[in-house]
């Protein structure tokens, strides 16, 4: 949320530099992420980054508020004019301008004026290019000065015309003094929803600086200066006094069908108003806050929302009457009917979910409550009568609606974090009078206020001893009371009766009786109050101290230790770790099975404790309200994401070795439910109450050269199946798993004959190999060897032995013997190696396959396997 310093200073009399204010807010939990200096120099030691716009210091000796005295036509150009400008210093200066928003014959306009030598941004450049203003001839007329647009001053990217300042802008004043500002970009976390307004932030600043908060009057007639500053300070509790029209009761009716979703709905009616542009000061503040000015009615609703945190919506009352066929309209808040649709203000026709709360009339939907208005009843240039709505909505339902509709708005941002129903009437009165001041007209007598579920104030008893116990520091009672009262909590101190009047006894017996202000929906217990005290008191003032207790026993997390060991082993093998979203689309993972046309859902086998999860078809775990179409389901494999990243990296580098450790999510069948048969049979057919089966896996992708190029060697060998197998063997050895075996794999993701299964006993716990060429093309990978693998870590960790014995190295020499065997083609080399190990005797240390031969001397259907046998004794030669 953007917070202009000039607006903030309307409510708190602070003279601190902007960066000091930002530091205080950030220390108190209201993080200031960015600061934008407009017209002022950024402090050199400020580490906070600027926002998206560049920054420009307006030279106080060269950039001024000025007035155009005369506009004449350019003698040599139809689209240029000559403006005579008085900037309050020397004689008026003539400048050449092509601004379309000043015409020949006009005079008296206040503008931003730059003298020769001023540093500005080039308004005609597509990007942001600084220039120094120099004297030059423009179509035969010499000009060295300029009347400026917003882009040239880095206020915005607008270069359609020059800035026209209000009539009360003082000529000759440096522009920085009149228009310069600092804008804070504040991060509103969910626990700081009460700060989602200018007043909310001002309340924090007032508490942090010990200043008094000056709330604005609901009578905005005091706020008509160019920068929005009050000319006088009215009673903050004053009420709207301009109820001159007919009573509103006979002109509109409100019905709330779902008070749990819409606890309060208020409305006011403004008749015979005039739609026009907002005053300069309002437009400027809206722009600084990142909003586009539209007209005085819409701008007033946005202004009050930014100021108070209460979103509002304005309807064209005459359109509502027309929809009601000439009678007083009835506004109904309800859930949508089956198949109901609504075209919102962004010109999108939306299908409405059953849980979406709507603002309707008797003909149909008018707006999505708390999120966005509808196109049929919006205020237009022809609007004369305005119905203003201020309501309260269920924040959970607003969040759900925005996610389902993929629709974000300023109103939804605030309602989705929580706005108390009491704020509705405050915002309504403030906005309706502001509209009257800006557009004229009469406010109908009375207000419509439907409040079926009135909330009661929250009262909390806070013992001072509890504050000391949780914070570890004794804060004086007066300080605690002052902090809470500065945040608008009502505080009463209550002490137990007795003769002991000592200070210690008095503190132990003191209980603060506190009433929570209505805007603080986040406070409902003593811990919340103590957090507020700590924030304002200052976390930096709380000294470090050791726990005054025995440390609890430190128990090892064996699975976590195993996982960290696996990560270290893979990194030591030359791989880099990456992390991805666990959300994907079934269509993306289906590409892994493109070579055989396998159905979506085929997954790698897992351990024996999930017997129905293997190479079978399974439905995906879908997300009800996905954040995007690309994140609509929980992944069933790590490989698709790894291949996407591999393709992206190969555009910039020739060698990629990556791994990821993460969960996959497999949807359980009804048969997987761990429920008694009779209870499971009672579940509805369309309901699956089981949580997904989560398995911890490691995925690997390797491609490119076996080693980085170096001057010592010209070897450019590329990784192959055995490099990946070696990485997996390294992982197994590091985890001390000795009983794993390998077998051929026919998984459709792999190249036939270049893939293997990793087995523990009869259970397949992973597969790896060279990626199938068809799958490689589907993932936009180049025509080279791509190696992938995925292992079930849960199964691996379950087979790590609880302990192992170190073996001393033998001092005696080894003897090697080569052995070649001719076997049938289908017999796996692994099986032959197992037989050699079983029959080789106690001295056989290893048997390594070093050659496979098929040729003229070998019969058809046979192959020759050559092994190197290594023998060694521990006690003799």
Digit-coded pLDDT (tens) for 67-92: 999 999 999 998 999 999 999 988 99
For the cut 60, the answer to whether the pLDDT of residue 458 exceeds it is: yes
Structure-model confidence comparison of residues 16 and 710, the more confident one: 16
User: Which residues, in sequence order, are bridge partners of residue 72?
Assistant: 82
The CB-side HSE value for 728 (13 A sphere, CA atoms) comes to 31
Q: Give me the pLDDT at residue 556, please.
A: 86
Q: Give me the pLDDT at residue 612, please.
A: 29
Least confident of 365-379, 426-440, 503-517: 503-517
3-state SS track over 467-503: HHHHHCCCCCHHHHHHHHHHCCCEEEEEECCCCCCCH
Same domain, 125 and 263: no
Tell me which residue has tokens 């906005």: 431
For the cut 70, the answer to whether the pLDDT of residue 235 exceeds it is: no
Provide the CATH number for the domain around residue 832.
3.30.70.380
Q: How far apart are CA 163 and CA 183, in angstroms?
A: 19
Q: Is 553 inside any structural domain?
A: no
Q: Give me the pLDDT at residue 231, please.
A: 40
For the cut 90, the answer to whether the pLDDT of residue 174 exceeds it is: yes
Who's near 24: CB < 8 A, 6+ residues apart?
16, 205, 208, 209
Least confident of 380-389, 456-465, 502-511, 647-656: 502-511
Q: Give me the pLDDT at residue 722, please.
A: 92
Same domain, 497 and 633: no
Question: Domain residues for 859?
Answer: 815-871
Least confident of 275-279, 452-456, 533-537, 709-713: 709-713
**What's the predicted TM-score (pTM) here?**
0.71
Which pair of tokens denotes residue 468?
């000391």
Q: Is 525 inside any structural domain?
A: yes
678-694 burial, b for 16+ CB within 10 Å, e for fewer? eeeeeeeeeebebebbe
Provide the CATH number for the domain around residue 498.
3.30.56.10
Which pair of tokens denotes residue 744?
């051929």
For the cut 90, the answer to whether the pLDDT of residue 238 exceeds it is: no
For the cut 60, the answer to whether the pLDDT of residue 671 exceeds it is: no
Same domain, 446 and 466: no
Q: Of 743, 763, 798, which closes a domain?
A: 798
Same domain, 438 and 570: no
Tell me which residue has tokens 């190999």: 769
Q: Give me the pLDDT at residue 245, please.
A: 63
For the cut 60, the answer to whether the pLDDT of residue 611 exceeds it is: no
Which pair of tokens denotes residue 725?
């197998």
Greatest pairwise CA separation for the chain in angstroms: 116
Q: Is 806 inside any structural domain?
A: no
Which pair of tokens denotes residue 837?
């190990």
Q: Is 235 inside any structural domain?
A: no
For the cut 60, the answer to whether the pLDDT of residue 841 exceeds it is: yes
Q: Give me the pLDDT at residue 618, please.
A: 61
What is the pLDDT confidence band of residue 236, given thresholds at 50, 70 and 90? very low
Give the C-alpha distances (Å, rounded to integers) separating 686 from 20, 669, 674, 682.
58, 12, 18, 12
Q: Is 549 inside any structural domain?
A: no
DSSP assigned state of 793: H
Q: Of 537, 568, 586, which closes a domain?
A: 537
Q: How far apart are CA 454 and CA 452, in angstroms?
A: 6
What is the pLDDT confidence band of residue 195, given thresholds at 50, 70 and 90? very high
Same domain, 567 and 443: no
For residue 488, the tally of other CB atoms under 10 A from its CB is: 18
Provide the CATH number for the domain around residue 323.
3.50.40.10
Tell which residue, 757, 877, 736, has the closest CA to residue 813: 877
Least confident of 22-31, 326-335, 595-604, 682-691: 595-604
Same domain, 326 and 192: no
What is the pLDDT confidence band of residue 218, given thresholds at 50, 70 and 90? low
- 379-403 average pLDDT score: 95
For the cut 50, the answer to whether the pLDDT of residue 679 exceeds it is: no
Same domain, 445 and 575: no
Q: Give me the pLDDT at residue 507, please.
A: 57
Who's near 353: CB < 8 A, 6+ residues apart?
336, 401, 404, 405
Same domain, 175 and 187: no
Same domain, 820 and 776: no
Give 565-609 pLDDT, tens digit per residue. Answer: 999 999 999 999 999 999 998 888 889 888 875 433 344 433 333
Q: How far apart are CA 121 and CA 116, in angstroms?
A: 14
Q: Of 171, 196, 214, which closes a domain?
A: 214
For the cut 90, the answer to whether the pLDDT of residue 610 exceeds it is: no
Same domain, 77 and 175: yes
Provide the CATH number for the domain around residue 645.
3.30.930.10
Domain count, the chain: 6
Give 249-258 pLDDT, tens digit per residue. Answer: 889 999 999 9
- 780-784 average pLDDT score: 94
Beta strands in 593-655 (DSSP E): 633-634
- 18-41 average pLDDT score: 92
Q: Give me the pLDDT at residue 402, please.
A: 93
Same domain, 49 and 64: no
Q: Is 238 inside any structural domain?
A: no
Q: Helices 477-486 & 526-537, crossing angle to 10 degrees? A: 90
For the cut 60, the answer to whether the pLDDT of residue 123 exceeds it is: yes
For the cut 60, the answer to whether the pLDDT of residue 182 exceeds it is: yes
Same domain, 105 and 171: yes
Structure-model confidence comparison of residues 223 and 281, the more confident one: 281
Q: Give me the pLDDT at residue 508, please.
A: 61
If residue 682 lies in a helix (H) or strand (E), which one and from where to where?
A: none
Tell me which residue has tokens 């309002």: 282
Q: Is 626 inside any structural domain?
A: yes
For the cut 50, the answer to whether the pLDDT of residue 672 exceeds it is: no
Q: Is 803 inside any structural domain?
A: no
């Amino acid at each position: 949320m953007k917070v202009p310093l000039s607006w903030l200073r309307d409510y708190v009399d602070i003279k601190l530099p902007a960066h000091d204010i930002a530091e205080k807010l950030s220390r108190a939990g209201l993080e200031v992420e960015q600061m934008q200096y407009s017209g002022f120099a950024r402090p050199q030691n400020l580490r906070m980054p600027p926002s998206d716009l560049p920054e420009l210091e307006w030279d106080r000796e060269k950039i001024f508020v000025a007035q155009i005295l005369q506009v004449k036509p350019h003698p040599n150009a139809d689209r240029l004019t000559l403006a005579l400008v008085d900037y309050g210093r020397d004689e008026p200066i003539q400048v050449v301008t092509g601004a379309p928003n000043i015409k020949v014959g006009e005079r008296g306009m206040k503008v931003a004026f730059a003298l020769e030598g001023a540093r500005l941004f080039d308004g005609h450049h597509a990007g942001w290019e600084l220039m120094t203003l120099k004297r030059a001839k423009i179509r035969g007329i010499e000009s060295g000065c300029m009347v400026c647009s917003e882009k040239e001053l880095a206020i915005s990217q607008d270069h359609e015309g020059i800035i026209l300042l209000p009539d009360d802008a003082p000529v000759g004043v440096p522009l920085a003094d009149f228009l310069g500002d600092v804008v804070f970009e504040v991060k509103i976390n969910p626990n700081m929803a009460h700060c989602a307004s200018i007043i909310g932030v001002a309340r924090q600043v007032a508490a942090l600086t010990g200043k008094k908060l000056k709330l604005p009057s609901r009578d905005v007639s005091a706020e008509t200066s160019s920068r929005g500053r009050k000319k006088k300070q009215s009673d903050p509790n004053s009420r709207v006094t301009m109820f001159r029209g007919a009573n509103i009761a006979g002109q509109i009716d409100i019905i709330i069908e779902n008070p749990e979703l819409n606890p309060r709905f208020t409305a006011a009616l403004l008749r015979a108003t005039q739609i026009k542009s907002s005053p300069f000061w309002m437009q400027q503040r809206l722009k600084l806050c990142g909003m586009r000015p539209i007209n005085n009615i819409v701008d007033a609703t946005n202004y009050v929302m930014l100021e108070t945190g209460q979103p509002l919506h304005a309807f064209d009352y005459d359109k509502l009457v027309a929809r009601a066929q000439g009678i007083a309209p009835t506004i109904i808040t309800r859930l949508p009917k089956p198949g109901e649709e609504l075209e919102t203000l962004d010109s999108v026709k939306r299908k409405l979910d059953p849980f979406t709360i709507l603002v309707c009339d008797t003909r149909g939907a008018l707006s999505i409550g708390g999120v966005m208005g509808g196109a049929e009843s919006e205020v237009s240039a022809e609007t004369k009568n305005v119905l203003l709505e201020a309501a309260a909505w269920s924040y959970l339902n607003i969040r759900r609606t925005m996610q389902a509709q993929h629709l974000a708005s300023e109103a939804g941002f605030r309602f989705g974090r929580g706005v108390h129903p009491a704020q509705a009437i405050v915002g309504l009165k403030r906005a309706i009078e502001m509209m009257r001041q800006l557009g004229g007209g009469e406010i109908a007598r009375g207000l419509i206020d439907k409040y079926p579920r009135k909330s009661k104030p929250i009262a909390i008893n806070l013992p001072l001893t509890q504050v000391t116990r949780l914070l570890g520091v004794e804060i004086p009672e007066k300080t605690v009371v002052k902090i809470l009262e500065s945040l608008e909590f009502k505080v009463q101190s209550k002490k137990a009766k007795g003769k002991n009047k000592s200070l210690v006894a008095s503190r132990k017996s003191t209980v603060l009786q506190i009433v929570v202000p209505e805007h603080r929906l986040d406070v409902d217990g003593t811990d919340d109050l103590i957090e507020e005290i700590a924030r304002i008191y200052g976390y930096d003032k709380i000294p470090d101290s050791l726990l005054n207790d025995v440390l609890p026993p430190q128990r090892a997390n064996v699975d976590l230790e195993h996982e960290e060991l696996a990560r270290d082993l893979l990194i030591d093998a030359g791989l880099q770790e990456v992390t991805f979203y666990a959300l994907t689309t079934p269509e993306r993972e289906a590409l892994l099975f493109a070579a055989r046309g396998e159905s979506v859902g085929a997954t790698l086998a897992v351990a024996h404790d999930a017997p129905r999860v293997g190479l079978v078809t399974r439905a995906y775990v879908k997300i009800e309200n996905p954040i995007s179409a690309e994140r609509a389901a929980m992944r069933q494999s790590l490989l698709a994401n790894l291949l996407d990243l591999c393709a992206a990296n190969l555009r910039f580098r020739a060698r990629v070795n990556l791994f990821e450790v993460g969960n996959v999510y497999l949807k359980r069948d009804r048969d997987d439910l761990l429920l008694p048969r009779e209870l499971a049979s009672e579940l509805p057919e369309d309901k699956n109450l089981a949580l997904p089966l989560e398995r911890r896996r490691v995925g690997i992708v390797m491609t490119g050269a076996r080693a980085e190029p170096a001057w010592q060697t010209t070897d450019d060998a590329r990784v192959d199946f055995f490099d990946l197998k070696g990485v997996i063997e390294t992982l197994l050895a590091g985890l001390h798993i000795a009983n794993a075996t390998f077998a051929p794999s026919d998984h459709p993701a792999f190249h036939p004959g270049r893939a293997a299964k990793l087995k523990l006993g009869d259970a397949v716990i992973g597969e790896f190999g060279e990626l199938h060429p068809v799958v490689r093309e589907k993932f936009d990978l180049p025509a080279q060897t791509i190696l992938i693998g995925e292992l079930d870590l849960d199964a691996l960790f379950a087979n790590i032995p609880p302990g192992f014995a170190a073996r001393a190295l033998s001092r005696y020499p080894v003897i090697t013997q080569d052995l070649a065997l001719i076997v049938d083609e289908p017999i796996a080399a692994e099986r032959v190696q197992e037989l050699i190990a079983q029959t080789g005797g106690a001295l056989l240390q290893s048997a390594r396959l070093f050659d496979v031969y098929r040729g003229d001397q070998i019969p058809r259907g046979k192959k020759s396997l050559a092994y190197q046998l290594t023998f060694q004794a521990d006690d003799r030669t």
